[in-house]
Amino acid sequence: MSTKIKKNESRRATSDLIKLKKITENFFAGLGGKLMDTKCVKTPTYASHNLKIYCVNYYIAFSNANLFGKGSFAEEIYPRYRKMRSDWRQELKKSGVEMTNFALGFVPLLASEDKTRANNFKYKKELIKPLGTEIIKINNNSPVYYQEMAKRFKVKFALKEANGFFIGPERGMMYVLEAINSARHKINCFIDIGAGTGELSAYVLRNCHPQKVIVNEISPKLKPHLKNYLGEINKNNSVKITFDFKSCEEISIPIKTDLISVGVFYGFQPSLLRNKISEITKSLGRDGVLLIQSAMPETLFSQHILLGDLNGVNNWPWYSKKFILTNYFSRVESFFIDNQFIILASQSSDLINKIMKKIDKKTIPYNNFLI
């Protein structure tokens, strides 16, 4: 590519980002919001099959504490947040923004509440209609992303939505799981919360010689797949596999666990922690590890919630200290790897250090990513 073409692309991108910012300011101003900050990085993203595109997060301050409701994050707050995000993106699209060139998100902050207005307005919820999913067997016609996973980790299946988007498994989680296995040497009990196609459990069964694996998944379509796939790997019945097909908030946590993986989508994670964090920490003990797929580069809202690192997020009346992992673990490590954010949490700082050294992939610390 010539230097001239690169310069033209850079100018066009700058122009598009300015247009994005202006439309975004106007949209949220109509909801009583004020644009406070913008975080923008150009990075490979999963949605674009590893092409580099701009990932932009806008930080919007509101004065209406009731805007997203109160109560369960999964059932009340997140559906309103998603609806607002969807309406904002539709406004951008109507204004001529080429949405495929960007991965966009916003982080809602609560500024000082306007007591004089006593605003009780709640944004309406997104009415989530299941798009339908298809379990895809990975082959030579699959995206290169999954072909590489198949070679490196023996991954066999992917999950595809009706709109054409692949939604898992994630390669970053596999890299980190591989490092955990190498650092720990032994994983006796593994809990896979939000198992999806079951590839993390499959890896543990093949490589970690566990005594027990607990598989949690709520999707009815994935139940027979998980039983067949993992059952075939464990056909000699050497491992006790327990299937817990219910909401992650209701999962049974055993007394002693070595590794708990959380792959449920971001809207469920705060509710899971609020209901189960005490059981999780007690089960993991002093040398267990919590592994969370915590955000994509354009979904920093979920990351801020789990880290408790932004007062504007923490100020919302629905926010709970139980969301903040550092309140429960002596060491919490957050980093960007292969298109996604991962959080590792443990009482053992030495173990986290060993895992980070074992990861055979370049990582970007969370704070460095935001600069």
Domains along the chain with CATH numbers: 3-110 (3.30.300), 133-370 (3.40.50.150)
Looking up tokens 């490589």 gives 207
180, exposed or middle or buried, with CB in 10 Å at 0-12, 13-18, 19+? Answer: buried
Per residue in 218-277, pLDDT (tens digit) is 988 899 999 999 999 999 889 999 999 988 888 989 999 999 999 998 989 999 999 999
Kindly give the interhelix angle for 144-153 and 199-207, rounded to the nearest 10 degrees. Answer: 20
- 228: alpha, beta or left, given left = phi > 0 and alpha = psi -120 to 50? alpha
Confidence band, pLDDT 50/70/90 cuts, at residue 153? very high
Q: Is the peptide bond before 44 cis (omega within 30 degrees of 0)?
A: no
User: What mean pLDDT value characterizes the chain?
Assistant: 89
How high is the pLDDT of residue 5? 39
Listed residue (177, 209, 171) closest to 192, CA to CA: 177
Per residue in 33-87, pLDDT (tens digit) is 999 999 988 887 755 456 788 889 999 999 999 999 998 999 999 999 999 999 9
Q: Could you tell me the pTM of the whole model?
A: 0.92
Q: Which residues contact 359 (CB under 8 A, 6 or more apart)?
A: 175, 176, 179, 337
Per residue in 179-202, pLDDT (tens digit) is 999 998 789 999 999 999 999 999
